[in-house]
Amino acid sequence: DAGVIQSPRHEVTEMGQEVTLRCKPISGHNSLFWYRQTMMRGLELLIYFNNNVPIDDSGMPEDRFSAKMPNASFSTLKIQPSEPRDSAVYFCASKRGFNSPLHFGNGTRLTVT
């Protein structure tokens, strides 16, 4: 089992640029979550999908953030335009269903200068 795969591992970009983070969940998992982690705010849930359908995006900070899950094996989180305050580690996680644990990827460390 390859686990949850995120890319890129690190991303450095300038303010105003578009950033796309990618996630491949574990095969057979039907729920996918995007989290953001900073020292100040800890782990924040941004959005999650069940069976490729977005269920709750109330954690998405602004309209600059968008997420898609075109199929069961791929999801993207896009920030356009990016700002320095978006700098954080972004984690993707997947799970099989209710009462099963989350499996996290190793995250993407985003730095916006």
Partner 1 sequence: LAKTTQPISMDSYEGQEVNITCSHNNIATNDYITWYQQFPSQGPRFIIQGYKTKVTNEVASLFIPADRKSSTLSLPRVSLSDTAVYYCLVGDGDSGAGSYQLTFGKGTKLSVIP
**Binding region for partner 1 (CB under 8 A):** 4, 31, 33, 35, 42-43, 45, 48, 50, 55-56, 91, 93, 98-107
Phi, psi dihedrals of residue 84, rounded to the nearest 5°:
-55, -35
Based on CB atoms, which residue is closest to partner 1, 19 or 46? 46
Based on CB atoms, which residue is closest to partner 1, 9 or 85? 9
Closest separation in Å from C-beta 61 to partner 1: 15
Based on CB atoms, which residue is closest to partner 1, 48 or 65? 48
Rounded to an integer, what distance in angstroms lies between the CA atom of residue 81 and that of residue 16?
4
Contacts of 40 (CB under 8 A, 6+ apart): none
Based on CB atoms, which residue is closest to partner 1, 42 or 70? 42
Rounded to an integer, what distance in angstroms lies between the CA atom of residue 74 and that of residue 95?
14
Closest separation in Å from C-beta 59 to partner 1: 9
Closest separation in Å from C-beta 31 to partner 1: 7
Rounded to an integer, what distance in angstroms lies between the CA atom of residue 77 and that of residue 55?
15
Closest separation in Å from C-beta 55 to partner 1: 6
Element of type H or E holding 55: strand 53-56
